Amino acid sequence: MAGARRAWRTRRLFDGTRILDDRIVVAEDGVVVAVLSADAVPDCAIDELPDDAVLAPGFIDIQVNGGGGVMLNDSLTVEGIATICAAHAGFGTRFLLPTLISAGRADIARAIAATRDAIAQGVPGVLGLHIEGPFINPERNGAHPLANLLRPE
């Protein structure tokens, strides 16, 4: 059984490699199934995008410290991760890795557990967890709190 089909006509399509002019993109159940010339007639209604729009695939961000007013380090919960993912989805990020800035061992364990639970619960967009640090040169710590930096064992 075929799913819901949608189509968009765009003056500019970024296919992940290059810009293509004047195309129709057809998707079924959220998956692109065809890229057609602008004069083609797909078997579904066509939404016209604004002339200045660029249609592009969803982005993947591998380092996201926060979003939607939430910083992962301050909200090591499924809800915190869901808020971050939803905020970034609104800007075209389809998938991401919530990123924990150098933290103590207990917070690292909480971040791992929250991410595991978010994935198990199907939070849209979360692919895994980026644990940044804590093995960072204290003379070049940037935003990482000195108290959370560790020496490798």
pLDDT in tens, 92-112: 899 999 999 989 889 999 999
- Phi, psi (5° rounding) for residue 129? -130, 135
pLDDT score recorded for residue 2? 61
pLDDT score recorded for residue 1? 45
For the chain, helix (H) and strand (E) counts, in that order, are: 2, 10
Q: pTM of the prediction?
A: 0.76
Is domain 5-55 classified as CATH 2.30.40.10? yes
Question: Which pLDDT tens digit goes with each residue over 125-142?
Answer: 999 999 998 888 888 888
State the residue for tokens 């040169």: 137
DSSP 50: P
Residues 6+ apart with CB under 8 A from 60: 93, 94, 95, 96, 127
Query: Is the preceding omega at residue 98 within 30 degrees of 0, hence cis?
Result: no
Cα-Cα-Cα-Cα dihedral sign, residues 85, 28, 14, 128: positive
Cα-Cα-Cα-Cα dihedral sign, residues 92, 97, 99, 100: positive
